[in-house]
Amino acid sequence: MLGIRYPVFQGGMAWVADGKLAAAVSQGGGLGIIGAGNAPASYVREQIRIVRSLTDKPFGVNIMLLSPFADEVAQTVAEEKVAVVTTGAGNPSKYMKLWLEAGVHVIPVVPSVAMAKLVTRLGASAVIAEGGESGGHVGELTTMVLVPLIRDATTLPVIAAGGIADGRGAAAAFLLGACGVQMGTRFLSAEECNIHPTYKEKIVNAGDLCTMVTGKRLGHPVRSLRTQFARNYSKAEYGGMPDEGLEALGVGALRLAVKEGDVKNGCFLSGQCAAMVSKVEPAADILRDVMEGAEEVLRGAAKWVE
Ligand code: TUI
């Protein structure tokens, strides 16, 4: 459907997934995705130009639907006729007609069966089932439960996300009924990923219990590395700080992590699978490693059949 060699999407991570990372992933045979996050349309247009200057392969743009700039970014991706739009953190219904008329493949993140059914009716090309193992804004369900449920709820292709960082995870996702995977955390360690060196170091050195979820009280649960910031936020959240104070605490924290590597005040979004990421390497090597790993596991899978 998309003309990509490997069924691997790179998550559209806010502040992280710029044109350079997206181009490296697309050039390596996956689907690179620019993360629009909370950025204005001018930034997104610039990043689209950068990808097009570096590769002629297809790529996508992720629209974070809580963004104050979601409307103008939605318009821009239609004008630019990008191959794929993925959406997150909300309901993309109001933009579907605009994108479909521009010939854009729309692939929303669906945290529930109801949302999967809705976007199927509205003309989505596929859906991303992202479990709560993922970094950033998380839904209720795990990948293990969400993928088969979504697979049964729609005739569309399902992309699995959340907790996948190697060939074993990809193979497992295919067995659960997915026909592709999306990885964010694994691509944080890509050479072409332009985050602060401290962020990369923290991902590569992370252990099994290194992430936590904060923000439930305000209705936007977010998984990040268990840093001073995350612990302070959690204390404030459960210690009765008023909503406005909590909101102010979170403002700018993603930028501080990504751009400044600020270990005190930055929010280092990360999936649980950071514990499985152990080195920095080119995006193309990550793609090859995951697909070769998946093939190896799948070749051995016949042993479970008598
Ligand atoms: O969106 C993500 N991950 C993200 S977004 C982000 S930036 C952010 N900034 C401020 C507050 C919160 C986040 C960092 N990481 N993943 C995709 C995803 N989408 N996960 C869950 C959902 C989701 C949730 C509810 C999708 C649709 C949805 O619909 C609810 C409704 O009915 O409107």
For range 34-43, the mean pLDDT: 98
Query: From CA 42, how far away is CA 25, in angstroms rounded?
Result: 22
Query: From CA 296, how far away is CA 136, in angstroms rounded?
Result: 30
Looking at residue 42, its pLDDT comes to: 98
Strand 105-108 and strand 84-88: pairing?
A: parallel
Q: Is 269 exposed, middle or buried (0-12, 13-18, 19+ CB in 10 A)?
A: buried
Q: Could you tell me the distance, in angstroms and rounded to a whole number, from the CA of residue 270 to the centre of ligand 1?
A: 14
* Confidence band, pLDDT 50/70/90 cuts, at residue 269: very high
Q: Could you tell me the distance, in angstroms and rounded to a whole number, from the CA of residue 20 to the centre of ligand 1?
A: 24
Looking at residue 292, its pLDDT comes to: 98
CA distances from 241 to 213, 235, 268 (A): 17, 9, 22
The residue whose CA has the least distance to atom 15 of ligand 1 is: 136
DSSP-assigned beta bridge partners for residue 107 = 86
Residue 293 has pLDDT above 90, yes or no: yes
CB 114 within 8 A of CB 146: no
For range 182-205, the mean pLDDT: 98
* Confidence band, pLDDT 50/70/90 cuts, at residue 226: very high
For range 271-296, the mean pLDDT: 98
Looking at residue 227, its pLDDT comes to: 96
Residue 240 has pLDDT above 90, yes or no: no
Q: Could you tell me the distance, in angstroms and rounded to a whole number, from the CA of residue 64 to the centre of ligand 1?
A: 7
CB 160 within 8 A of CB 11: no
* Confidence band, pLDDT 50/70/90 cuts, at residue 246: confident
Give the start-to-end residue ranges of the domains of the chain.
Answer: 8-194, 211-269
Looking at residue 250, its pLDDT comes to: 83
Mean pLDDT of the chain: 97
Residue 75 has pLDDT above 90, yes or no: yes
Does residue 14 line the site of ligand 1, with CB under 6 A? Answer: yes
Residues 8-194: name the CATH superfamily.
Aldolase class I (3.20.20.70)
For range 140-158, the mean pLDDT: 98
Q: How far is CA 98 from the centre of its chain?
A: 23
From 137, 146, 185, 214, mutation site for ligand 1 pocket: most ligand atoms within 8 A of C-beta: 137
The SS3 assignment for 304 reads helix
Cβ neighbours of residue 76 under 8 Å, at least 6 residues apart?
A: 41, 44, 45, 48
Q: Could you tell me the distance, in angstroms and rounded to a whole number, from the CA of residue 221 to the centre of ligand 1?
A: 9
Looking at 56-131, which runs of residues are DSSP E strands? Answer: 59-64, 84-88, 105-108, 127-130
Residue 287 has pLDDT above 90, yes or no: yes
- At 165, list the tokens: 């960082």
* Confidence band, pLDDT 50/70/90 cuts, at residue 296: very high
Residue 251 has pLDDT above 90, yes or no: no
CA distances from 197 to 75, 188, 204 (A): 34, 11, 11
Residue 175 has pLDDT above 90, yes or no: yes
Residue 50 has pLDDT above 90, yes or no: yes
The residue whose CA has the least distance to atom 11 of ligand 1 is: 220
- At 18, list the tokens: 């710029």
Does residue 90 line the site of ligand 1, with CB under 6 A? Answer: yes
Does residue 232 line the site of ligand 1, with CB under 6 A? Answer: no
Q: What is the pTM of this model?
A: 0.97
Cβ neighbours of residue 234 under 8 Å, at least 6 residues apart?
A: 212, 214
